[in-house]
Each structure stands twice: as C-alpha cells, then as structure tokens.
Structure 1
C-alpha cells in the first residue's frame, strides 16, 4: 500500500512539473503573427466610419479584440510603392520607389537604400520564425524566397464574366489612350458562389495551416484581392444593400477650382469613371453598392480566418494586424480612384490585436502604415530594426502618450508630399505650390486655405515635417498609368524622354 501511495505522489509531482514547464514554455514563447492586407479598402467599415450602414460584423469583432486606428495613413496612395514602403520600413522619398516596382527588383545592388534591406517577413525568419504567405502582400505577391512557405497568388483580379462593362472613358481618341493606362474598373454580381473567388481559396490555405503544429512561432501573411476592382462578388452580397438605401459620398462639382496645376495633373484620370458621368448615368449608387458588397464579402472571409484562429491552439498567443495599402475615392474629388494626396486616398484601416494590448480601444491620432514593421517587432519582443524610419505604435496603444505629436506623411512622386496632423492637412508639390485644409471646419477638403494668413504659423510648422531626403526615382520603379508621372520621372532623373509603354497600374 505504501509503495502505491509513494508511486501516486511521484506521478502527481511529475505531472504537475510537466504542466508547469509547458505553461512556462507557452508564456515565454514568442507570439505568432497573422498579417492581413486588404487591397483598396477605405475607412467605410463599421468600426471606423460605418458608411451607409455597411455590414461588417467581423471587422467589428476584430476591433473588439484590440485597437483600431481611425486616422491611419499610407506612405503612397498607390499599391506598389505603399506596400514596398511598409515591407522595407523606408519612406518612398528614401528608397526612390515612387511607382510600380517588380517584387524582385525592390532590393537590388543599384538601389543604395534597399540593396541590403531586410523585408518584414525576413526579419521574423532571422529571429526564429517560420514564415508563410499567400495572396497580394507586396505588389504582386512577394519577392522570391521571402517566405519559407508560399501559397503564391492567383494572377489578376478575377474571376471575370464573359460580358463585361469595363469603364472606358477615352472615347474614340486613340492618341489619348496611348498616354494613359487602362484599369479593370467594372461592377456587378459575379460569380455565383463565394468558393469561386480567389480570396476564398487563400483563406482555405490559411485555415488549413492554422490546424498544423509548428516547432517555431509563425508569421503568416494573407493578402486579400478584394475590394480592388473589378467590383465583382456574388449576388448575395449585393442583396445586403438595396439601391434605395445607398448613400453617396460628399461631392462638390467645383471642388477642384482652387487646386494647383500639378494637383490637377495628378488627378487627370480619364480611365476612371468621373463623378459627373456617374451622376448623369445613374451609376453612382450602383458603384457604391458594389464597393459595399465587396467589403461585406471580405468581412465574411475575415470571419473564417478569425474562426479558425479561435479554434486553434494558437488563439491566445497570436498577434493580428489588418491594414490596407491606401484609401479609395467613390466620387470624392470628381472620380472613382485612389491616386491622390487628399484624405480619402491616403486614409485606410489599421487594426491590431495582441495578448498585451487593450481591447476595444479606438485611437484618433494620425499614424502611418510605416509603423507596422516596428510595432510588430515590439509586440513580438524582438529587437528593433535600426533601418525602420517610423516609430512603434505600442506606447500609443498601451498608454495613449504623445497622441498630439503624431503625424503622417504620404508621397506621390518625388517631392510631392502631404502631411497629416490632428485637424489639418498640408500638401506641397514639387514646384512649391500648396494646399492646406482645416479639417475642423472643412472635413471634405473643399476649400484650399494655403494662402489664408490665418494659417501661416500652422503651415510653417507642418512644412517642417516634410522629408529631408528626396532621392530620384529608382530605375526599376515607374508609373506609366498617366502622363504626369512619365514626364516627372524623366525630368527629375535627367532621362531622355522615351516612348511610353502603357501598363495598367492595377494587376
């Protein structure tokens, strides 16, 4: 009997010791990272703006799990340079990546800023993580060998119906077509089922991998293709938004009368639907309806990811970050596009959830997507990367300190910058012309106050935040979508003007 008693005590102590050891290992292990990018998503989601009563229960769910930034801004209002900036931790003005750059050409010996840069997923790999990625994370997918395990990306933004509308604002002028790219801008209910969407397959890949066992902590990237045009999702998502209930964004027909010439050149986008055309044709509400339907579809897929994470063994030790590469205008400033230095083009969602962050917190201070890299490092307990040009947002999320001192810079071509601080936006173009908006009285940016002496001191203060380094365009970076940027690169780089090879910006 005594032998049995002592054996029981020994087994109990050993079991307790093993449990204690496992618990300690779990507590001391590095957190996993779920890195979610949504293409072309503006701030209409319900945790931020709740535009036209948008239905996004899973964005709400994620917001309740952590911190939502309602005033986050991208470093370029275009997918390629925006994503390159986030993944390198460098501003476009530092790297010269102002336009579209092939994923494998972002880091190359000829670019002094990026030749030895460590991409965000690589930094995690170097610090003991197993890295995985699928979908659109860099401009196309990712440079070769960035991830230990890659699911790749379905080419394009399909699936596409046999008969398409495809907006074409060029008319019959062949010469005009040669100067501009062409988008896949279109809208409608297609295909029949969610399972036919590439994003659904990407989520299947993520769900399956969340069921696996890993010997190391993991970094997993998921890049959604929607809500990028064409605005196609199954009919059931359109059914959530009856046309008679659709709101349209604020619009003023003479809004651009006080914009400098370069601002007008940048906004010269005949390949996109104009707001005036959308009004006259009766398509405006239909485009907004399609965009909202796409948001709700992405929300559904996000819910599948959150469900899989919550039912996995990684639920309590995983950091989530969700972000978009830029905003999107749905009629504001006269068009349906990103491609601008105004509020609706630079502002995009940014949400974090992590074991050591507050839950259900919202922060209105202006911040940068550039801060994602250093923030993830701090949340993961990894050493800071000295090349990062932005600060971690962890102190802001945990304590709210320095909220009044935050700002965000967006760049669109060499020496074209905008600075956003709480309540104000300042834009300075390469020729020194300016825009200034007081968001306290003019949230729609309808009145350019750059010449109003009332704001001289504020403008000078914001001017001091402009980047001090403005390198020329990287040779492999280009934007042949419209003529201003073709001429701009040739001029600032001292290049002989070459025939324009027109490629769409949206791939």
Structure 2
C-alpha cells in the first residue's frame, strides 16, 4: 500500500500490537509515505476500503495497521475492521486439543478446518462484498478507488458445508512432497506444525478445508466481478486481484508462509486494464507487489510518488511475452535472526541467501517444487553469482518496535 520495499523501510515481518499506522514510527522512510488510497484521494478520487487490507486478524481485536486518514470511507471501524464481522464460530469454540497428540499449533482453535452452520450471507467476506457492490452502484461525481480485502483462505479454514462438499475427503490429493526435502535446505520455524499434522493424521482434513475456503472466496470474487459487469463501469475500471503471500500446505514440512521458497512468495496477480491488457494473457516475467503502486499511477495518469521502489508493469501488460532481464527481490526476517534473508528470482531460477551464510538455488522450470538445492553444483556457479549480485548491499537494518508510538497498543507512557 506504500510501494516501499522492506530493504528501504527496515520492516521485514508482521509486527503485532499496533492500533493504527505504527509503521510510520517504525521507519523514517514510511514516516511521511503516502498510502496508495491517499494518493488517489489527493488526485480527485473517492477512496473507499473494507475488510482486511492492512494486516489484521480476527482473533486480535483492535490489532490493525490500517491508516484511517488514507480513506474517505472505511467499512466499520478502520482500526478494528474484521473482528465484529468475523466472530468465532461455535464449531471452533470447543477444545480442539482433546483427543490429539501434542498441542495444536497456535493454541486451541486458530489452526484447523471446520464447517460453520451460518449461511454465507452472514460471513464477514460476504458482507464486505455486499458493501463493495453497494459502493459501485452509488452515483458520485468523483471517480472511485475501491479496495476490498477478503480474509479467506486465511486460517482457520471455516466455511459452510456446501464448500466442503465440493471436495470429498476420499478424493483429496496431497501436494507433492519429498520426505528428506529439508536435507539440503535451511530449517524453518513451522516444522513442529507439520509434525502435529502428520502425527494426528490431519493433512487431508486441512487440505480439504483449504480448498473449500478457496472455493468460497473465489465465489465472493465472482460476485464482485459480476456486479462490476452489470454496473456499467467495466469498460472504465482497472481491476487488480492479488494476495499478500503464497501458502504452504505441508510442502517442505511448512505450513502457511514465513519462508522464502517459491511456494511461499509467488502470488496470484491479475490485472485487467480496459483497452490495454489482453484477456487470458500470461507471463512468467518476475514482478513484485511494490510494482502495483506505480502501475496504477500510470494507468490513471497520476504522478508516481518518490517513495515507490517498484516499476510500472504497463509495458508488460502491452507485451506480456516480451523477455525482461528484471528480477524480483523478496526479503524476510526469520525468528531468531538479527539480519534479514533475501530471495532473488528471474524467469527461471530462485536464489536464497540467509544471514548465517547458507544459500539455496533452484531451477523452477526443471524443479518447480524446489526439491534439489543446486547451490553447491559448480555448473551453476555463474547463475548463482549473477543472482547473488542482485541483492543490494545497502539494505536497511531491521527496525525495532517503538514503545511510545501513539499507535502502539502497549505503549509506555512517560
């Protein structure tokens, strides 16, 4: 939402306990950064937002990174945008540790899959889409900047029975998995999750819940696009669909995210720009989510703020198959590390560098599951060196949480 890469801001992971844009006090670069919606407001747009746009969770009420000043309108409480619409369903309030070996990851009921009895119409994502459809139907003098943040398929995987029925448990296929996959890779922090899943024979159950959640949210996206089609705005509206990260469902003994492999960092990204993009066109050229801010600015003929680290993707929209020498850079701080790790990807290879000196290199075309680390293969030395040199040497160090920020829920008063 700011277009600023972590190597510029020094913020490399989620920082909980915020009640507003605490990131402005965590990073000098972000102190006066203009949020994308604010930039469009400043240039004549009506900016409306709803749901999970900035980081927030349904089980941490009042914990949100949202900037209320960046919007003309925000559905509900911008500093608590989902807690009231995503109440804990009754099916997950029981003790889900009962009958299992060991303690469930994240405690009692945050990591699991369950059918909820309520109709879809009462679910938070459905309500946010209802709200967004109403905003598209309203008549206003200003053009509309509309941000719709859907929570699913985030854990816990809880949706109505009809979405589970699409995936009978006996037909569930587990992802490609290599038993000794981590023998040539750096260990991560979620292996205990996978141990709990496999010991308790929950893998297929969780996969089913994940697939059901995807189908549910796909339906919500479809409702939104159908409403756009019937609104008369389709031919004059740029549509961008993306997620904030990829997702592991047991690959490399990992769950969710918090890694730098392809499965973690590759995201769906769809851009529909009337008169420019070609329906169904695809590309493997690497991009980053920081590219979206300058892309939307160019499409709307707005200036690009100096803070933006990305580049416009309009040239790729015009010629999706044109080869580019660009790379994508993803940076992340692992728990226990005092410096960030980085992953660099071109159209074929992924190079990962950790602060302890461990490195990984994968051929994503020949080895899409990243089973074989090629870092010590001399025949790939040139590729490894080339990608390693793409990591900037002047990255910002990891910032600390400012105890006295007015946006810190646990701030110290002096």
Fold shared by both chains (TM-score > 0.5): yes
- Which residue number corresponds to residue 139 of structure 2? 213
1-structure distance, mates of 2:98, 2:258: 17
Q: CA deviation at 1:182?
A: 8.4
Q: What CA RMSD, in Å, does the superposition of the two structures yield over aligned residues? A: 2.5
Structure 1 residues 330-360: Cα deviation after superposition (integer angstroms, max 9, x where no partner): 1101132211011111111011112122222
1:165 aligned to which of 86, 93, 96:
96
- Which residue number corresponds to residue 149 of structure 1? 73
Q: CA deviation at 1:280?
A: 4.8
218 and 169 in structure 1: CA distance in 2 versus 1, 3 angstrom threshold: farther
- Which residue number corresponds to residue 285 of structure 2? 365
2-structure distance, mates of 1:316, 1:164: 51
Structure 2: runs of 5+ lacking an equivalent: 57-63, 334-338, 404-409
- Which residue number corresponds to residue 251 of structure 2? 332
Q: CA deviation at 1:167?
A: 10
1-structure distance, mates of 2:228, 2:34: 28
Paired residue secondary structure (2:219): helix
Structure 1 residues 177-236: Cα deviation after superposition (integer angstroms, max 9, x where no partner): 9xx888811101113310121111111111111110111111011000100000000000
Paired residue secondary structure (1:403): coil
Q: CA deviation at 1:403?
A: 2.9
Q: Is residue 2:380 matched to residue 1:455?
A: yes
2-structure distance, mates of 1:183, 1:118: 37
Matched positions, count: 380
182 and 115 in structure 1: CA distance in 2 versus 1, 3 angstrom threshold: farther
The higher radius of gyration belongs to: 1
Kept in 1, the 8 Å contact 2:101–2:196? The answer is: no
- Which residue number corresponds to residue 14 of structure 2? 100
State the TM-score, normalizing by the size of structure 2: 0.85
391 and 338 in structure 1: CA distance in 2 versus 1, 3 angstrom threshold: same
- Which residue number corresponds to residue 264 of structure 2? 345
160 and 122 in structure 1: CA distance in 2 versus 1, 3 angstrom threshold: same
Kept in 1, the 8 Å contact 2:282–2:320? The answer is: no
457 and 133 in structure 1: CA distance in 2 versus 1, 3 angstrom threshold: same
Q: CA deviation at 1:297?
A: 0.4
1:128 aligned to which of 33, 41, 44:
44
Kept in 2, the 8 Å contact 1:328–1:336? The answer is: yes
Question: Which protein has the bigger helix share?
Answer: 1
2-structure distance, mates of 1:406, 1:167: 51
234 and 112 in structure 1: CA distance in 2 versus 1, 3 angstrom threshold: same
Q: How does 1:39-78 map to 2 (within 5 A)?
A: none
Structure 1 residues 435-461: Cα deviation after superposition (integer angstroms, max 9, x where no partner): 111223222111211111111100111
1:202 aligned to which of 87, 104, 128:
128
- Which residue number corresponds to residue 61 of structure 2? none
312 and 373 in structure 1: CA distance in 2 versus 1, 3 angstrom threshold: same
313 and 427 in structure 1: CA distance in 2 versus 1, 3 angstrom threshold: same
State the TM-score, normalizing by the size of structure 1: 0.70
Kept in 1, the 8 Å contact 2:350–2:361? The answer is: yes
2-structure distance, mates of 1:311, 1:136: 25
- Which residue number corresponds to residue 427 of structure 1? 352
